[in-house]
Amino acid sequence: MKDMMSMVKQAQQMKSKMEEMQAQLATIEMEGSAGGDMVKAIVNGENRVLRVQIDPSATADVETLEDLITVAVNDALTKVKLYVSGEMKKISGGMDLPF
């Protein structure tokens, strides 16, 4: 019975920590870049694009610029995913849970 109570307590603590992290995701910012930093994309932990910075020299070729923006945004989103995954593993004690 003590083991069950301990598990329930741990689950409640994990839930509380996950809720805290969820609230913090809006404040986390990750930067992705492409083309040697010609294009930078900044996204938050909720996968929202906050800003895109474009070096004026990158605007000469629209098709290339579109590709660079796509790469920069995907780079930033990958960094967010890795960060969140790492934080979730800390919260869950290393268990690989499907969040």
Count of the separate structural domains present in the chain: 1
Task: Return the percentage of the chain with pLDDT > 70, whole number.
Answer: 93
The domain in which residue 72 lies consists of 2-91
β-strand pairing of 49-54 with 39-44: antiparallel
Position 97 in a domain: no
Question: Is residue 99 a part of any domain in this protein?
Answer: no
State residue 25's pLDDT score.
86
Does residue 64 carry a pLDDT above 70? yes
Report, as an integer, the average pLDDT of 60-88. 94
Within a domain: 96 = no
pTM of the model: 0.77
Instruction: Provide the CATH number for the domain around residue 11.
Output: 3.30.1310.10
Q: What is the mean pLDDT of the chain?
A: 88
Q: How high is the pLDDT of residue 28?
A: 92
Q: For residue 98, tell me if it sits in a domain.
A: no
pLDDT band at residue 82 under the 50/70/90 scheme? very high
Nearest-CA neighbor of 78 among 13, 36, 32, 37? Answer: 32
Let me know if residue 83 belongs to a domain: yes
